[in-house]
Amino acid sequence: MHSPGRSPREARAGSPHPWVFAAPAFAVLAVFFLTPTVYNFVYAFTDWSSFKSAISPVGLNNFTDLAASGALRKALTITLVYAAGVAVFQNLFGLGLALLLERDTRINRLLRVVFFIPVIISSLAAGYIFQALLRPDGGLNQLLSALAGTPVRTAWLGSTTWTILVVILIHSWKWMGMSMLVYLAGLKTIDSQVLEAARIDGVSPWQMLLRIRIPLIAPAVTFNVATALLGSMNSFDIVQATTGGGPGSSTELLNLFIFRTFGQGLYAQATTMSLVLFLAVVFLAFPVIGMLRRRERTMT
C-alpha cells in the first residue's frame, strides 16, 4: 500500500518493497511445487504408465479400479489412523518429557539434548534400529525376558492388528524431542505469578496441570498437534524400514503404496493415490491453517 505522505525521493525510486523481490521464490514454488500438484489432477485421470508410450485419458477408471480392489479405502484408513495416533502419542510423549525436564537444572539440560538425538538421526536409520530391537529374538524381548524371568518372544512387528500401533509409537519416539522443545518453550512463557496465585488458592498439582498450565500453553499444543497430524500423513521412511507395509499390508500408508506402485511402472495409479493423499490433507488442513493464521495475526 502506498502511503500518501511519501517523500519525492521515494516516489522517484518506486516502491520500497518491490514485488520483484518476491518473484524468484514464487517462480520456484510455481514450477516445482504448484505445477506438479496441478498435474496430479490431470494425470490421475489418464492411463500414464511405463508400459505405454502415449498417455490418454481414461476418466475415473483409476479411481474405480482402486476402489474395487479396496486399496484406496484401506491405504487411506491406515494413513488417517497413523496420523491420528502420531498426533496423540507424539504429543503425550513430548508434553510428558517437557514437564519432566521443565526446571533448568544441569542434568535436565543434558537430558533435553539426549531426547533430541532421535530427531537428528535419519528416520530410515531409526526404522532399522527398531526393526532389530523388536524382532522375536531382539533387544526388547531380551529386556522383558530378564524382567519377567521367563523367555518372552513376542513378534512386535508381526500382528496385522497391532503393528500399526507399534509403528505409530516408533514415529512418535522419533519426533517426541521436537514436541518436547516446543512445549518447553510454551511452559517458559507462563507467568509464574499465575501459578503462585493458584498454589496459594490450594489448587492440587493435577488440577494445576489440566486447568491452568495446559490451557496457558494452547499455542504450543496447536502447533504440535497440527505439525504431528499433517506431517505424519506424509510419512514413509520409518514404516518402510520397519515393516515395509506389512504384515499383510496392514501398515501400508499412502506413501508406501505410491512408492510401490510407482516402482511397478503404474504411474497413473500412483498419481491417483497421490491425489487422494493431497485431498485428505487439504480436508484436514483447512481448520489447521485457520488456527495457524490466527496465531500469525495475534503475533503481530
DSSP letter string, 50-103: TT-SS--B-TTHHHHHHHHHTHHHHHHHHHHHHHHHHHHHHHHHHHHHHHHT-S
Q: At what angle do helices 71-100 and 218-233 cross, to 10 degrees?
A: 150
The set of residues, in sequence order, having a beta carbon less than 8 Å from that of 172 and lying 6+ positions away, is 85, 86, 89, 90, 92, 93
Print the binding letters for residues 199-238 with other proteins: x by CB under 8 A, - otherwise. --------------------xx--x------x--xx-xx-
Q: 53-81 b/e with 16+ CB inside 10 Å = b? A: eeeeebeeebbebbeeeebbeebbebbbe
Q: Which residue's CB is nearer to other proteins, number 193 or number 300?
A: 300
Q: Which residue's CB is nearer to other proteins, number 85 or number 118?
A: 118
Residues 66-125 that bind other proteins (CB under 8 A): 100-101, 103, 105, 107-108, 111-125
Among 81, 88, 129, 225, binds other proteins (CB under 8 A): 129
Query: In this chain, which stretch among 37-45, 61-69, 80-88, 193-201 interacts with other proteins, using CB under 8 A?
Result: 37-45
Print the binding letters for residues 165-194 with other proteins: x by CB under 8 A, - otherwise. --------x----x--xx-xxx-xx-----
Pairwise CA distance, residues 251 & 162, whole Å: 10
Residues 255-274 that bind other proteins (CB under 8 A): 255, 258-259, 262, 267, 270-271, 274
Shortest separation between residue 210's beta carbon and other proteins, angstroms: 19
Q: Which residue's CB is nearer to other proteins, number 122 or number 160?
A: 122
